[in-house]
Structure 1
Amino acid sequence: MNIKSLIGKFGSGARSTNCLRVVVQPYALYFSPLEGVELPKRVSIESGDWQKILVETLTKANVNDLTIDVVLNSNLYQTYQIDKPNVPDEELGQTLPFLLKDLISEKITDIIADATALPNSNKLQVYVVPKALVFGLVQRLEKAKLSLGHVLVEDDVWGLAATDAERFVLLQRSKNSQYKVSAFIDNRCVFQRTIRGVTAPLVGVASSSLQLDGIALELQRSVDYLSSQLRGATLHHMKVCCDEENNDDLARELDERLSVKVSRLTDLPLESGELLTQYVADICDSGINLYPDHLRPKVERFTLNTVAAVCALIAVTLLGSYGYFTWQQVGLNAELSSQRSQEEQLKQQVQQLNQKLAKHKPSAQKVAAVERLKEEIRAKQDSLLAVSRFDDEQNVGYSGVMKGLAKLGRNDISLNYIKMSSDVLDLKGLAREPQSIPNWVNQFKNELNLVGRSFEKLKIGRNEQDVLTFELHTKEDKK
């Protein structure tokens, strides 16, 4: 599926929610269901003026402010096939009437044409409708406060009705109309022919056998013609949808007489108009539309009165804006003057305070004297701290050691020399026996002030009286 088709499907879905679809058949009008609108599904048009009956039906149902899409039956438009011109697509709709001037009897200014490209071909399938038909419908709908949306053709709808095939031949007949043969490729109508001189029904009566053989011959000719003309698109299936016929019997009879398979178009027991109503919502915006945009009345948005009103509104807005900003500027200027006055006062205060500060600023001599005094104070504080620390060491260390030695007094140990400092304890004395010395030293661990004291040197000897002497040194003397 290409992008254009995808966008078209979304567009169709959007229109189907706010558009009323009307299918025009030779014998009746069929209305698609629409929420909030109560209309009959079918209205007969025995008088033939379907436009008048359409407007009367809508008016009677109090339908207004709504867009109407109309699906025309094949009796209301003509089809032609022409070579595709070298014209941009957006200009094709306005060019088509000039391309058809040799094929139609009407004036090119009196017709509306639209076309679709034929698959596997460089030709266009052109649909033509009288301009008076479309414009007459537009005027009648406008009087009823309605607007015409799209003017569609039933050939586009029939192409979607065969849900099981995209390429097929269709034998179709609406009530009060002629038998019609159409060919569809990729759901697009590429061929259409009316079979005249045949009356319904074709099956179910004694005289129908001859008619059935005749129409079968015409159908076979059409199939053979299509097979020779449509290259690469062979058609092997024919569908049947005829009003006032038993489509099952008709399909069976034709299947026996034709070289292609024949079956009914749908299993739904519906008339052609009802069936078209079922599928009309699936038509996308890429289909035929015989009321193109270039024919719609243009809304003059920039009239003289509109431009004058807009200019007046802009002038009033500008004057109001100018007055507002002028008033705002006056207020801001007053506030600016007040701020500048305060600024001048603050500058004067700063100058006065700087002058006072200069008077209170100390001289360099005084600052130097203060620094010298601070240094002197810090030196004295350090001295006091050292003395205090020394006193603490003396009180804690020396007296404690002496008390501890006194507590450990023994009969076999006598001290006659003690040397102490913060990290030195040297002892000299007399001992009765050599083993008394280590026994005495081992008792240091029981005294708080002596615990942890260790000696690096022990010297034992005897004096002149032959008494045992010892010396304990915490640090070995340096030689």
Structure 2
Amino acid sequence: MQISWRQYLTLKLAKRNAIFSLGISIGKHTHYVVGLVKQGAEVYWAHACQFDITSFKSEFSLWVKANNLAGTPTYISYTESYYQLLQVDRPDVEENEVHTALQWPLKELLTINNEVAYDYFDLPVQISGQHKINTVAIEYHHIESMSQLMLDLHLDLKQIVVEEIATCELVHSHSEAVLTLVQELSGEICLTIIKDNRLYMTRRLRGFDNLGQFSPDELRMGIIESLCIQIQRSLDYFSNQLRQPPIKHIFLRLPIDHQDIIAEDIEKVIDMPVSLLTPAIAMKIDININDFSLNALGAAMIALHKSNSRSTHEAA
């Protein structure tokens, strides 16, 4: 576990009702935890810590108990190594029967041999003549053990999601479609197209997981060009196949030193503004966002946007 004494004492002395939400990123080797704090109308990122997967259960339990976090709304997001995301034909059944009907096509398509927990979400738009849905499957024992831990710690587990859904929360305020390139540490680049907090398409870009090992000159010897080809294919698919208005902005956040250079070169090749993805939330914590998990932050921010949605409905 890595957390500074200042962060520990701040959380230790905080009043229970100041903790707005916890976001937990379940990674291959490391689990990350984000704590959002609310003071008046302001919600900000105040706590960030990480736990080795081998000691997560014991150390996270001690951390929660020491800081009196029982009852805190908690959101979990799994990283790519834990799940399979597949697009399948929507079963021709009543809405309340869709989940049950999916077990048969998933049984044929999944490469997971153990019992799985699965769910689905609809696509905002379809290719003409198709009726697809996105399905997510995770080995059941992962869900069961994590849910039981939250129950044992009296944390209020609100939702379990995956990276692509957590990323939607990071660009929640954009009403026009944006393309994002986000990479977790030791993971592959996740390309998503998001509009109005809805996931229109997603792809994993294979072969770009070691970008941090290359110098700027090496990146410019074909690597950035290959990345731009993948981006352009996704932009074309969104505009031509899904018949949506062209995307006008790309957001990028990669855990490498040269992401500014990559952003600049993509902007030149694609001829579109490219910005580093900076979540729309105040930070009162001394961390390098490139070395932490945006997946955990996105999970925690689900609570923020659910709260804003409730406030809007109440005002109406």
- The question of a shared fold, defined as TM-score above 0.5 by the shorter chain, is answered with yes
Partner residue of 2:32 out of 5, 8, 29: 29
Measured after TM superposition, the shift of residue 70 of structure 1 is: 1.5
The residue number in structure 1 matching 2:142 is 133
Taking the aligned partners of 1:283 and 1:40, their CA distance within structure 2 comes to 17
Paired AA for residue 94 in structure 1 = T
Distance in structure 2 (CA, Å) of the matches to 1:19 and 1:110: 34
Structure 1, unaligned stretches of length 5 or more?
A: 1-15, 286-479
Q: Give the distance between the partners of 1:92 and 1:52, measured in 2 at CA.
A: 38
Q: How does 1:62-81 map to 2 (within 5 A)?
A: 62-66=68-72, 68-81=74-87
Cα pair distance change 1:142/1:279, threshold 3 Å: closer
CA distance 1:164–1:146, change in 2 (3 Å): closer
Note the 1:240-259 alignment, pairs <5 A: 240-259=252-271
Classify the secondary structure of the residue corresponding to 2:194: strand
* Counterpart mapping for 1:289-368 below 5 A: none
Give deviations 1:97-152, integer Å, cap 9, x for gaps.
33322211336x82222222112223212222221111111223333344533212
Percent identity of equivalent pairs:
18
Q: Please, which moves more after superposition, 115-124 or 59-68?
A: 59-68
Tell me the alpha carbon deviations over residues 330-383 of structure 1, each in whole angstroms, 9 at most, x when there is no partner. Answer: xxxxxxxxxxxxxxxxxxxxxxxxxxxxxxxxxxxxxxxxxxxxxxxxxxxxxx
1:58-457 alignment, distance < 5 Å: 58-66=64-72, 68-106=74-112, 110-121=115-126, 122-146=131-155, 148-162=157-171, 163-198=173-208, 199-201=210-212, 205-210=216-221, 211-266=223-278, 270-271=289-290, 272-273=293-294, 275-276=297-298, 279-284=301-306
Counterpart Cα distance in 2 of 1:114 and 1:284: 20
Give 1:241 deviation, angstroms. 1.7
Q: What is the rounded CA distance, in whole Å, between the counterparts of 2:90 and 2:82 in structure 1?
A: 24
C-alpha change, 1:260 and 1:165, in structure 2 (3 Å) is: farther
1:278 Cα deviation from its structure 2 partner: 6.5
Distance 1:106 1:200, change over 3 A: closer
Q: Computing the radius of gyration over CA atoms, which structure comes out larger, 1 or 2?
A: 1
Asked whether the equivalents of residues 193 and 199 of structure 2 are also in contact (C-alpha less than 8 Å), the reply is yes
Match of 2:42 in 1: none
The whole-number CA distance in structure 2 between the counterparts of 1:244 and 1:201 is 5
TM-score by length of 1: 0.48
2:123 maps to a residue whose letter is L
CA contact (8 A) 1:29 1:50 kept: no
Higher relative contact order (CA 8 A, sep 6+): 2
Instruction: Specify which structure has the higher proportion of strand.
Output: 2
Q: State which drifts further: 248-257 or 201-210.
A: 201-210
Aligned-pair Cα RMSD in Å? 3.5
Does 2:61 align with 1:55?
Answer: yes
- Which position in structure 2 is the counterpart of 1:325? none
Distance in 2 between the 1:52 and 1:190 partners?
A: 38
C-alpha change, 1:277 and 1:143, in structure 2 (3 Å) is closer
TM-score, normalised relative to structure 2: 0.70
Secondary structure at 2:289's aligned position in 1?
coil
Distance 1:141 1:120 in 2: 35
Equivalence for 1:388: none
Distance 1:21 1:98, change over 3 A: farther
Equivalences, count: 267
Q: Distance in 2 between matches of 1:19 and 1:111?
A: 31
- Maintained 8 Å contact 1:203/1:212: no
Give me the whole-angstrom Cα distance separating, in 1, the residues matched to 2:90 and 2:254: 33
By percentage of residues, which structure has more helix?
A: 1
Q: 8 Å contact 1:220–1:258 — kept in the other structure?
A: yes
